[in-house]
Structure 1
Amino acid sequence: MEGLDEKLKGLSIARRSHPEEPTYLLDMALQPAGLLAVSCSNLSIHLHDKDTLDLVGEYRGHTGPLCGVVFSHTSPDLLYSGSADGTVRGWDARCPGSEAAQVFKSDPSHRYCSFDLSCGDVLLCAGTEQVNGEDSFLVFWDVRKPDGGLLGAYSESHSDDITQVRFHPREKDRLASSSTDGLVNVFDLSRGPEEEALLATCNSDSSVGSVCWSGADYAQLLCLSHDEGLHLWDLSQLDTDKPLTVFSTSDARGQTLTADAGCVDYLVGGRWLEEAQKLLVVGGKNSGDLHLMECDGRGLRLLRTLEGGHASTVRCFLWDVAREALVTGGEDAQLLLWRPGASAGPLVPASHYGSHQSHPARQDPAEGAALAPK
């Protein structure tokens, strides 16, 4: 079977979306049945055909910046989105343009800047911005409950905006969270109260932008900071005397990849590719070029540079395992599908559109209740 390196080296543009309006593409989620959901800076969620990238529908309803999209694992026609408007919404992917089928809320002062759905499709968790300059909250719902399913919140583990929450891909009660306070926390939610559920705290010494489960059995965590730092920790070493750090750099921009490729200007994100047993890290140049890299204990190794695609900063990507394809989206409002040996003709020029949306002012504080044991 052709290895990952060879597949990535053969990537070229197969499809390119043509934006109808200027909007940043912020995050994306893949539905196995054929849809690609993309959250946009204009507060809409676009649905695309994942093979043609044709726009097949959209959802509107959020009134604040979006913080992600994710499809249900067992009911793939259900799409979730989170927002700084203080809601997580569930949409019926079979009915584009319809109103949200579910709306999850907590305290009116809560503004969500991250969320995720557990692999068991039972728990939703959202991370809030800092409330009144004091606390931030991890809020939990049971999606099966008809009354909104609010279970409670954790309020002691982070002191600033919770930039990402990520459930473990296989263990339904395992959760990682990251924050601008520099901390990455790992919880076992089956233990109930926050102080008992907290398993580990890793300090990145910088504001954390995102985390990603990786490694064999997803026992490692990749942490990317807002100042382009990268840390890879092995949580299987928690109960040993061995160091947790597999690899760490305070600034990936200083990592020379090759003499020709130079360095990255920013990091987009990471993804554990289970079939290849490799951690893929995507970094970008301000010009729109992308560096696809492998990360392990030896550091970052360049696998492929993608040129001639985007015209500005790339914000999101995903790897379609079934089709062995890469999808990327960014601030040029373009969605690109990359496949081995494909060709989509000459580059269509794209402009660098508007500035990032600012968040509305924060509201009053709220107290968080401990998550009730299950």
Structure 2
Amino acid sequence: METLEETFKSLAIARRLQPSEATYILDAAAQPGGGPLVAVSCSNRALRLHQCETLALQGEFKGHTGTLCGVRFGHASPDTLYSGSADGTLRCWDARRPGSEATRVFRSEPGHAFCSMDISSNDVVLCAGTEQVGEDSFLVFWDARMATGASGKQQGLLGVYSESHSDDITTVRFHPRQADRLASGGTDGLVNVFELNLGGEEDALVTTCNCDSSAGSICWAGVGGEQLLCVTHDEGLYLWDVRQTDSDDPLTLLSATDARSLVTLPDGGALEYFVGGAWLEEAGQLLVVGGASQGELHLLDCSEKGLRPVRSLAGGHSATVRCFLWQPEGGGLLTGGEDGQLLQWRPGATELQGGRKETLKSTSSMQLKARAHRKHHSKSSHSQLT
């Protein structure tokens, strides 16, 4: 089994896709099973499809009228693409038909603005987290095989959880193998784990963790997916063992309110922010990616011992990086950011597409700001998935 050092030691820029307009790349998803496509969501509300190998633009989808909050390919149906937006819709697209209309549209109640989304590992359940609505925040669930009909009637809506968060639900992630297991995080400082097959919200909520700040991103980690990593909007980092779902106190493996202080870079530079984390199955290690506002990237090994720098990548981006994808089939890394660039890093590569790097505004007006979390409100009613 390769270590992270062996995996990343020869990474270099293979291809660079320059922005044709001043748009940020917000999120990215790779077609499963080593498929040829990668999808990226952009700040102009468009979804772009690129070839993984060449980064060539294959087309785009338009239809959302609000800021995009995520993009995902189906697991069993890799030609199916899902996206979510603050416009109050999740949409399904046919990746074989760039430029076409959405094949399905998912809505909930008027006034819901979504700021996170994901789809279960068996492609059956879609989930979206809303911004706070009055005193409430909602996890909304749909049957992904159904959608709003021509009459506008809400078809496929399975139910709503309304008690587990008291502020914007900024991130939701289904377990990569257990279709009924879901984690959610919000600006209330709570990270919750649900077992959806247990019934109503009160029974389904099996574990609650506190990250003491606004949750920015979460990911499942560990050999069996028994760990949960959370990176906060103010650069905190938490790693929990959540395998004991009958315990009110998940085992904290790592806790840092400002994890940048855990990292000493070899060149003496400063780590300014975290992009997020990813479990690398083939290496059996947890990768955390951080960076600096001028575009440098730092690849870190994360464990209960802390954060350990593995490799720094320079000469690529010129602004904050917003997303990354590890592609185990070719040992490559894709990164996208606020400079609008999509970069492909490969072992031993020599850049095939050069050119001038465009420097765009590096501070996103859409960046979620860290907020002091509110006390957890008690809600008056429980919802159950039907």
Q: Deviations over 1:4-48 (max 9, x none)?
A: 312201000000002111100000000132011000001000111
Q: Deviations over 1:228-263 (max 9, x none)?
A: 000000012455798611111110221232342433
2:121 corresponds to: 119
Is 2:12 the counterpart of 1:5? no
Secondary structure at the aligned position of 1:108 is classed as coil
Is 2:201 the counterpart of 1:199? no
- The question of whether the paired residues in 1 share the 8 Å contact of 2:79 and 2:96 is answered with yes
Gaps of 5+ in 1: 360-366
1:371 corresponds to: 384
Q: Deviations over 1:204-246 (max 9, x none)?
A: 1111111100012000000111100000000124557986111
Aligned pair in 2 of structure 1 residues 251, 16: CA closer, same or farther (>3 Å)? same
Q: Deviations over 1:237-292 (max 9, x none)?
A: 45579861111111022123234243310000000001111000000011100000
Q: Deviations over 1:93-132 (max 9, x none)?
A: 0000000001000001100000000001000000000002
1:277 corresponds to: 284
Amino acid at match of 1:169: P
1:316 corresponds to: 323
2:168 corresponds to: 161
Structure 1 runs of 4+ off > 3 angstroms? Answer: 1-4, 237-243, 353-359
2:46 corresponds to: 44
Aligned pair in 2 of structure 1 residues 354, 270: CA closer, same or farther (>3 Å)? closer
1:1-374 aligned at under 5 Å gives the runs 2-31=2-31, 32-132=34-134, 134-145=135-146, 147=149, 148-239=155-246, 244-344=251-351, 348-353=356-361, 356-357=364-365, 370-373=383-386
Amino acid at match of 1:370: S
- The question of whether the paired residues in 1 share the 8 Å contact of 2:104 and 2:146 is answered with no
Aligned pair in 2 of structure 1 residues 172, 227: CA closer, same or farther (>3 Å)? same
* Structure 1 position 372, deviation (Å): 2.7
> C-alpha separation between the residues in 2 aligned to 1:171 and 1:233?
18
- The question of whether the paired residues in 2 share the 8 Å contact of 1:86 and 1:108 is answered with yes
> C-alpha separation between the residues in 2 aligned to 1:243 and 1:371?
25
TM-score with structure 2 length normalisation?
Answer: 0.91
TM-score with structure 1 length normalisation?
Answer: 0.93
> C-alpha separation between the residues in 1 aligned to 2:342 and 2:140?
32
* Structure 1 position 368, deviation (Å): 8.5
Secondary structure at the aligned position of 2:197 is classed as helix
Aligned pair in 2 of structure 1 residues 272, 156: CA closer, same or farther (>3 Å)? same
Give the share of equivalent positions with the same residue, in percent.
59
Secondary structure at the aligned position of 2:224 is classed as helix
* Structure 1 position 353, deviation (Å): 3.4
